[in-house]
Amino acid sequence: MRSPRDFYKPLAVGAPEPLREIPFPPSRMIHFFDASNEKMVARLPDTIAKADIVLGNLEDAVPVDRKEAARDGLVKVGKTIDLGDTQLWTRVNSLESPWFLDDLTTLVSEIGDVLDVVMVPKIEGPWDIHYVDRLLAQLEARAGLTKPLLVHALLETAQGVAHVEEIAAASPRMQGMSFGPADLAASRRMKTTRVGGGHPGYLSMSDPDPDNPDAPRITAQQDPWHYSIARMVDACTMNGLLPFYGPFGDIKDVAACEAQFRAAFLLGCVGSWSLHPVQIDIAKKVFSPDPAEVLFAKKVIEAIPDGRGVHMIDGKMQDDATWKQCKVMVDLAEQLAAKDPALAEAYGFESSAA
Ligand SMILES: CC(C)(COP(=O)(O)OP(=O)(O)OC[C@H]1O[C@@H](n2cnc3c(N)ncnc32)[C@H](O)[C@@H]1OP(=O)(O)O)[C@@H](O)C(=O)NCCC(=O)NCCSC(=O)C[C@](C)(O)C(=O)O
Ligand SMILES: [Mg+2]
């Protein structure tokens, strides 16, 4: 392990200084597009206006014969499209693939100044981050970049989950993590063909009624991802990183998508992925806090400005800890209100958005 004194030193001569704090602009959805798909690129100005983050995907879902077209298309997007305050990310191919080296070299050299975050799939341990960290520093130095690129790890193997805390602490470049339920299910030999969401077979069942043993018993579907997402949230938060839920593959099932996103939001994730335009709106709804909760949180903070002591507000006990919960809610609401006049109005804030 590097000396703690060296943690914030650039890993190559001429590379920019690592950031001390991870930026946290609105990050409710990472919208995936394939830059080799003409229809998706044509829609980009509209997508950029709606999404907090757009991500040019180079990995899975991009066919092998379009890998280079997707990379070149993303370079063109970075050079020609006005992104406003929407972030531009990429998901590069995995470290063992024949494309990773060219993905990173091309993107950093050509559009390193407009890319915010590089998502790296199938991260298994801190050693993967160390490799990407040094390579990025060399490429940044060669390209003369002044702002460091940040790294987002995709947690989608059993090894990755087992090493999640070490991955989160592996580099000051670590911006956050997303959860990859499809590859993770395969890696664990889970018996599901779904991309995220629950499963009707994963449930708990009430005991039989002793007086009526043949009566139907109550069952409740459980969340098979709860343990891993909660671990990811803790690993990210303890290192100042941002945790995201990943994809929800059943595009038509908007209700289940909303339920999965909301469960992740309540556990501490700041956003999720959107694979289709319809999921941008779901993520916006779910990852913007409920106005009623924000108004209540504002009431608590106004009633107890210093957050000390114990108080009753609307019949509910409030103390230092609940004040902090309210602060999390109001800080997020303020951040989103600055971007979105409709939310500003719902939350009762002045909006600074145009
Ligand atoms: C699912 C698909 C095939 C349905 O695509 P479709 O064309 O069949 O859907 P549609 O409803 O007919 O589309 C309507 C319109 O929306 C457009 N459209 C559709 N999607 C998008 C988009 N994303 N961005 C911008 N525009 C989009 C589409 O082109 C069409 O345009 P049109 O009206 O002009 O004809 C399509 O939405 C798609 O390819 N989405 C991205 C898929 C993707 O990136 N997958 C990889 C991430 S998930 C993953 O990797 C797993 C993970 C983490 O690794 C792990 O768990 O292990
Ligand atoms: Mg995957």
Mean pLDDT by 10 residues, the chain (354 residues): 91 98 96 98 96 98 98 98 97 98 98 98 98 98 98 98 98 98 97 94 96 96 96 98 98 98 97 98 96 95 90 92 94 93 92 54
Q: Whose CA is nearest to atom 5 of ligand 1?
A: 276
Asked if 136 and 151 count as a contact pair (C-beta separation under 8 A), the reply is yes
Cα–Cα nearest to 71, from 81, 53, 58, 88: 58
Q: Are residues 48 and 119 in the same domain?
A: yes
Q: Are residues 297 and 281 in the same domain?
A: no
pLDDT score, position 55: 98
CA of residue 280 relative to chain centroid, distance: 13
State which residues have CB under 5 angstroms from ligand 2, the bound ion: 156, 180, 183
Is 90 inside any structural domain?
yes
Number of Cβ within 10 Å of residue 13's Cβ equals: 8
Q: Which of 244, 271, 287 is the last residue of a domain?
A: 287
Kindly give the distance from the C-alpha atom of residue 116 to the centroid of ligand 2, in angstroms, as a whole number. Answer: 21
pLDDT score, position 350: 74
Domain count, the chain: 2
350 is in an annotated binding site: no
Measured CA angle at 104 (ends 80, 40), to 5 deg = 40
Q: Determine the length of the chain.
A: 354
Q: Are residues 186 and 240 in the same domain?
A: yes
Q: Give 20's DSSP letter.
A: S
Q: How far is the C-alpha of 223 from the C-alpha of 330, rounded, in Å?
A: 28
Q: Are residues 137 and 219 in the same domain?
A: yes
Read off the tokens for 159.
Answer: 């090894």
Q: Give 76's DSSP letter.
A: H
ipTM over 0.85: yes
Number of Cβ within 10 Å of residue 293's Cβ equals: 15
Q: For the chain, how are helix, strand and coil distributed in percent, rounded to 5?
A: 45, 15, 40
pLDDT score, position 353: 54
Q: Are residues 153 and 244 in the same domain?
A: yes
Q: Are residues 302 and 188 in the same domain?
A: no
Q: Are residues 96 and 176 in the same domain?
A: yes
Q: Whose CA is nearest to atom 53 of ligand 1?
A: 180
Q: Does the CB atom of residue 181 touch ligand 1 within 6 A?
A: yes
Q: Does the CB atom of residue 272 touch ligand 1 within 6 A?
A: no
Q: Are residues 211 and 313 in the same domain?
A: no
Q: Are residues 182 and 231 in the same domain?
A: yes
List strand residue ranges (DSSP E) for the chain, in order: 29-33, 53-57, 87-91, 117-120, 150-155, 174-179, 203-205, 219-221, 242-244, 272-274, 311-313, 316-318
Q: Which of 244, 263, 287 is the last residue of a domain?
A: 287
Closest ligand by atom to 280 CA: 1
156 is in an annotated binding site: yes
Is 354 inside any structural domain?
no
List CB contacts of 294: < 8 A, sequence separation 6 or more.
329, 330, 333, 346, 347, 348
Q: Are residues 160 and 109 in the same domain?
A: yes
Q: Does the CB atom of residue 247 touch ligand 1 within 6 A?
A: yes
Is 108 inside any structural domain?
yes
Residue 314 gets the label, from left (phi > 0), alpha (psi -120 to 50) or beta, of left
Closest ligand by atom to 249 CA: 1
Asked if 61 and 183 count as a contact pair (C-beta separation under 8 A), the reply is no
Measured CA angle at 162 (ends 161, 165), to 5 deg = 80
Kindly give the distance from the C-alpha atom of residue 132 to the centroid of ligand 1, in angstroms, as a whole number. Answer: 28
Is 179 inside any structural domain?
yes
Closest ligand by atom to 196 CA: 1
Q: Are residues 127 and 261 in the same domain?
A: yes
Is 313 inside any structural domain?
yes
Is 122 inside any structural domain?
yes
Q: Are residues 101 and 215 in the same domain?
A: yes
pLDDT score, position 351: 56
Read off the tokens for 316.
Answer: 């509910």
Q: Which of 287, 309, 329 is the last residue of a domain?
A: 287
| Domain coverage including residue 311 | 293-347
CB neighbour class for 77 (10 Å; exposed up to 12, middle 13-18, buried from 19): buried
Kindly give the distance from the C-alpha atom of residue 276 to the centroid of ligand 1, in angstroms, as a whole number. Answer: 5
Is 148 inside any structural domain?
yes
pLDDT score, position 352: 59
Look up the CATH number of the domain holding residue 176.
3.20.20.60
Read off the tokens for 194.
Answer: 């779904």
Is 283 inside any structural domain?
yes
